[in-house]
Amino acid sequence: MKNEMADPSIRFLEPGVQAKFDASRIAVLPVPFEATVTYGSGTRGGPEGILRASAELELFDERTRIQPHQAGIWTAPLLQPQPESMPEDVQGEVGRLMDAGKWVVMLGGEHSITPAAVRAAAARVPGLHVVQLDAHADLRDTYLGSPWNHACAMARCLEVAPVRAFGIRSYSAAEARRMDGEPIDYGIVHAWEMSADDGWLHAVESLAGRPVYLTVDVDYFDPSLVPATGTPEPGGPGWRLTQRLLDRLFEVADVVACDAVELAPTPGLHHADFTVARLVHELVGRAALRHGWTADTADTKS
């Protein structure tokens, strides 16, 4: 998997099912931004890895029993902001797509792009909540001198919306003190709480009726599933548990936009790229099902 300049012609899903902008309800926005990674690098190749792998997906989603592409999926050109203007550029582009009525799926790139997208959504959707799937709390106020470091992503989000986090299993003593002691609206379900017994799902059900921005830092998953990420942490949730979380979330809440960030494609680990592409397809499918954006479920893939 190459990490240099991405191929501008690649799109989400195979070439034959691309929608034009005006006919699309879903906009995929690739943002290969990498400026503040702290350990393994390569997340600038994340969008291209996801898009390339997506061409191998079945168009039929066995979970929702629909073909999500029938909702109309348009892939935006790569957004490649300079570090100085990244927050404004990402916020501006996500806002433009939302104003055009699109359900936005942003592909990172590092997690620092998320609060910029959340700002765009929060400015348009009253009562927005953020749902964070992540191994890390990302509650540092600044890191390595920058408030926009990826280790600060949720601290920035909390400035505009409450955050409900799932799969967390790594944070500092200072972050633990913030969770326990400060009046921040940050709800947490640790990875070890997400057992086969569904008690933890009440945290999802508490979002009933609320508009939600969903951010998936792919290090949320156990590294056996997605090892190709900069800061992998053992003990993450698996696929089936995640599907149950997403089923409930899309049933009870109104997910208005989402992202998948921090994939760092790595030679020999292409299953990670495919897993994240499948995740994105399932997110799109659940949104399309909820909104009734697809009607014909005939299997058109040869």
Q: Please give the residue ranges that form the binding site for Mn ion (CB under 5 A).
A: 134-136, 217, 219
Query: In whole angstroms, how close is the CB of 219 to Mn ion at the nearest point?
Result: 4
Minimum Å distance from CB 122 to Mn ion? 21
Which segments of the chain are extended strands (E)?
26-31, 73-75, 103-108, 129-133, 163-168, 186-190, 211-217, 254-261
Distance CA 300, CA 29 (A): 25
Tokens 């992202």: give the residue: 259
**Which structure tokens are listed for 19?**
């929608």
As measured in angstroms, the least distance from the Cβ of 132 to Mn ion is 9
Q: Which is nearer to Mn ion, 134 or 273 (CB)?
A: 134
Backbone φ, ψ for residue 44 (5° rounding): -65, -20
d(CA 185, CA 180): 11
Shortest distance in whole angstroms from residue 197 CB to Mn ion: 26
Whose Cβ is closer to Mn ion: residue 44's or residue 136's? 136
Token match 């790594």: residue?
170
CB of 217 or CB of 222, closer to Mn ion: 217
Our CB check for Mn ion shows the closer of 11 and 136 to be 136
Closest distance to Mn ion from the beta carbon of 264 (Å): 12
Closest by CA to 171, choosing from 194, 138, 130, is 138
Smallest distance from the beta carbon of 25 to Mn ion, in angstroms? 29
On the question of a cis peptide bond just before residue 109, with omega within 30 degrees of 0, the verdict is: yes
Give the residue with the Cβ less far from Mn ion, 74 or 220: 220
3-state SS, residue 112: helix
Closest CB to Mn ion among 93 and 134?
134
Q: Residue 285: which residues within 8 A CB-CB, separation 6 or more?
A: 61, 63, 64, 66, 68
Helical spans, DSSP H, in 188-238 = 202-205
